[in-house]
A and B are shown apart, each in its own frame.
Chain A
Amino acid sequence: MGRLSLSLTLILAAAAGAAAAAQQPTPELGQAGPCARCHVSSVLEWGLSAHQKVGTDCVACHGASHGHVIDERNNVKPERIPRGAAIAALCETCHANGCPKTKQTASCQTCHHPHALLDPNKGRAVQDQWVKEANGKLEAFNRYMAEGDRLVKEGSFPSARDAFRQAVEQIPGDRRAVARLGMCERRIDPQLAGFEIVGSEFDPETGLPRRVKVSGTAIEMVLVPAGDSDMGSDRWKDSAPVHTVQVDAFYLGKFELTQGQWKALMGANPSQYAGRPDSDRLPVERVSWDDCQTFVRTLNGRVPGGGFRLPTEAEWEYAARAGSANPPAHDELLRSAWFRENTASGADAAADSVPLESYAPKPVGSRQPNRWGLYDMLGNVWEWTSSASRPYPFDAGDGRESETATGLRVLRGGSFVDSAESLDPAMRHAERSDRRFRWNGFRLARGVPASVPPAATKK
Chain B
Amino acid sequence: MALAGRVAPAFGAPVREIRRGGMVYRRLGQTDLYPSLLSFGAHTDTSYKVPVAVGSTMLNAEGQARRDHQVAHALDLGVNMVDAYQTEGQWEPLAQLVRPRRDKVLVSLYYNSKEFVGQHIDRGAKLFGHVDLYRFPVRDGTVIDGSTLDDWDALRKAKEAGKVRAIGISTHIETEMVKALSQLEGLDYIFFPYNFIHARADYSEFLPAAIAKGVGLIAMKPLAMGSIVSFDPRARPDAKPESQRTTLFSSRNRMILPAAVAELTGTLSRLPDETLCQAAMRFVYSRDFLSSAVTGMWDDQQVDDNYKAMGRYSELRHEERAALDAAARVAKLMGPRWLPQGYQWLEDQWGV
- Specify which of B114, B115, B116, B157 is in contact with A429 (CB 8 Å cutoff): B157
Chain A residues, Cβ within 8 Å of B156: 429
If A417-B118, A437-B150 touch, does A353 touch B113 (CB 8 Å cutoff)?
yes
Determine the distance from Cα of A271 to Cα of B185 in the docked complex, in whole angstroms: 23
Are A237 and B162 in contact, CB atoms less than 8 angstroms apart? yes
Are B150 and A359 in contact, CB atoms less than 8 angstroms apart? no
Determine the distance from Cα of A419 to Cα of B185 in the docked complex, in whole angstroms: 21
If A353-B113, A354-B115 touch, does A418 touch B157 (CB 8 Å cutoff)?
yes
Interface residues of A in 180-239 (CB under 8 A from B): 235-238
Chain A residues, Cβ within 8 Å of B119: 340, 353-354, 419
Determine the distance from Cα of A353 to Cα of B157 in the docked complex, in whole angstroms: 19
With most chain A CB atoms within 10 A of its CB, the pick from B114, B116, B122 is B116
Is A438 part of the binding interface, using a Cβ–Cβ cutoff of 8 Å?
yes
Chain B residues, Cβ within 8 Å of A236: 160-162
If A340-B119, A354-B119, A408-B185 touch, does A435 touch B114 (CB 8 Å cutoff)?
no
Determine the distance from Cα of A399 to Cα of B93 in the docked complex, in whole angstroms: 50
Chain B residues, Cβ within 8 Å of A51: none
Determine the distance from Cα of A439 to Cα of B149 in the docked complex, in whole angstroms: 12
Shortest Cβ distance from residue A401 to the other chain B in the assembled complex, whole angstroms: 21
Q: Could you tell me the dominant secondary structure of chain B's interface residues? A: helix
- Specify which of A238, A353, A408 is in contact with B114 (CB 8 Å cutoff): A353
- Specify which of B115, B118, B150, B185 is in contact with A418 (CB 8 Å cutoff): B118
Kindly supply a per-residue 1/0 record for chain A positions 31-55, scoring 1 wherever the CB is within 8 Å of any chain B CB and 0 otherwise: 0000000000000000000000000
Are B116 and A359 in contact, CB atoms less than 8 angstroms apart? yes
Kindly supply a per-residue 1/0 record for chain B positions 139-167, scoring 1 wherever the CB is within 8 Å of any chain A CB and 0 otherwise: 00000000001100110110011100000
Shortest Cβ distance from residue B276 to the other chain A in the assembled complex, whole angstroms: 42
Chain B residues, Cβ within 8 Å of A435: 149
Chain B: CB-nearest residue to A421: B161
Are B157 and A356 in contact, CB atoms less than 8 angstroms apart? no
Is A105 part of the binding interface, using a Cβ–Cβ cutoff of 8 Å?
no
Kindly supply a per-residue 1/0 record for chain B positions 120-148, scoring 1 wherever the CB is within 8 Å of any chain A CB and 0 otherwise: 10100000000000000000000000000
If A408-B185, A437-B149, A437-B153 touch, does A419 touch B116 (CB 8 Å cutoff)?
no
Is A12 part of the binding interface, using a Cβ–Cβ cutoff of 8 Å?
no
Chain B residues, Cβ within 8 Å of A429: 156-157, 160
Determine the distance from Cα of A368 to Cα of B197 in the docked complex, in whole angstroms: 61
Are B115 and A238 in contact, CB atoms less than 8 angstroms apart? no
Determine the distance from Cα of A366 to Cα of B282 in the docked complex, in whole angstroms: 61
Shortest Cβ distance from residue A337 to the other chain B in the assembled complex, whole angstroms: 16
Shortest Cβ distance from residue B6 to the other chain A in the assembled complex, whole angstroms: 12
Determine the distance from Cα of A417 to Cα of B120 in the docked complex, in whole angstroms: 12
Are B149 and A417 in contact, CB atoms less than 8 angstroms apart? no
Are A356 and B185 in contact, CB atoms less than 8 angstroms apart? no
Are A431 and B150 in contact, CB atoms less than 8 angstroms apart? no
Are B114 and A340 in contact, CB atoms less than 8 angstroms apart? no
Determine the distance from Cα of A238 to Cα of B161 in the docked complex, in whole angstroms: 9
Are A355 and B116 in contact, CB atoms less than 8 angstroms apart? yes
Chain B residues, Cβ within 8 Å of A422: 157, 161
If A417-B154, A419-B122, A438-B150 touch, does A355 touch B160 (CB 8 Å cutoff)?
no
Determine the distance from Cα of A122 to Cα of B113 in the docked complex, in whole angstroms: 84
Shortest Cβ distance from residue A239 to the other chain B in the assembled complex, whole angstroms: 9
Determine the distance from Cα of A37 to Cα of B187 in the docked complex, in whole angstroms: 45
- Specify which of A355, A408, A439 is in contact with B115 (CB 8 Å cutoff): A355
Interface residues of A in 383-437 (CB under 8 A from B): 408, 417-419, 421-422, 427-429, 431-432, 435, 437
Kindly supply a per-residue 1/0 record for chain A positions 437-459, scoring 1 wherever the CB is within 8 Å of any chain B CB and 0 otherwise: 11100000000000000000000
Chain A: CB-nearest residue to B151: A356
With most chain A CB atoms within 10 A of its CB, the pick from B113, B120, B149 is B149
Chain B residues, Cβ within 8 Å of A418: 118, 157
Are B153 and A238 in contact, CB atoms less than 8 angstroms apart? no
If A356-B150, A417-B154 touch, does A238 touch B118 (CB 8 Å cutoff)?
no
Determine the distance from Cα of A356 to Cα of B156 in the docked complex, in whole angstroms: 16
Kindly supply a per-residue 1/0 record for chain A positions 55-76, scoring 1 wherever the CB is within 8 Å of any chain B CB and 0 otherwise: 0000000000000000000000
Chain B residues, Cβ within 8 Å of A438: 150
Determine the distance from Cα of A235 to Cα of B163 in the docked complex, in whole angstroms: 12
Shortest Cβ distance from residue A260 to the other chain B in the assembled complex, whole angstroms: 24
Determine the distance from Cα of A359 to Cα of B118 in the docked complex, in whole angstroms: 12
Are A238 and B154 in contact, CB atoms less than 8 angstroms apart? no
Chain B residues, Cβ within 8 Å of A427: 160-161
Shortest Cβ distance from residue B186 to the other chain A in the assembled complex, whole angstroms: 9
Interface residues of A in 332-386 (CB under 8 A from B): 340, 353-356, 358-359
Chain B: CB-nearest residue to A352: B115
Chain A: CB-nearest residue to B115: A353
Interface residues of B in 154-203 (CB under 8 A from A): 154, 156-157, 160-162, 185
Shortest Cβ distance from residue A238 to the other chain B in the assembled complex, whole angstroms: 6
Determine the distance from Cα of A245 to Cα of B129 in the docked complex, in whole angstroms: 34
Shortest Cβ distance from residue B165 to the other chain A in the assembled complex, whole angstroms: 11
- Specify which of B114, B154, B157 is in contact with A355 (CB 8 Å cutoff): B114
Chain B residues, Cβ within 8 Å of A354: 115-116, 119
If A419-B122, A431-B185, A437-B150 touch, does A356 touch B160 (CB 8 Å cutoff)?
no
Kindly supply a per-residue 1/0 record for chain B positions 13-46, scoring 1 wherever the CB is within 8 Å of any chain A CB and 0 otherwise: 0000000000000000000000000000000000
Chain A residues, Cβ within 8 Å of B116: 354-356, 358-359, 417
Shortest Cβ distance from residue B8 to the other chain A in the assembled complex, whole angstroms: 14
Q: A417-B118, A421-B161 are in contact. List 16 more A-B contacts (CB 8 A).
A: A235-B162, A236-B160, A237-B160, A237-B162, A340-B119, A353-B114, A355-B115, A359-B116, A408-B185, A417-B154, A418-B118, A419-B122, A419-B161, A429-B157, A437-B149, A437-B153
Task: Please name 9 pairs of A and B residues whose Cβ atoms are closer than 8 Å in the assembled complex, sorted by A.
Answer: A236-B161, A353-B119, A353-B120, A354-B119, A359-B116, A421-B161, A428-B160, A429-B160, A438-B150
> B residues within 8 Å of A by Cβ?
113-120, 122, 149-150, 153-154, 156-157, 160-162, 185
* 9 A-B pairs with the lowest CB-CB distances in the bound complex, closest first: A353-B115, A356-B116, A355-B114, A419-B122, A437-B153, A422-B161, A429-B157, A421-B161, A417-B118
> A residues within 8 Å of B by Cβ?
235-238, 340, 353-356, 358-359, 408, 417-419, 421-422, 427-429, 431-432, 435, 437-439
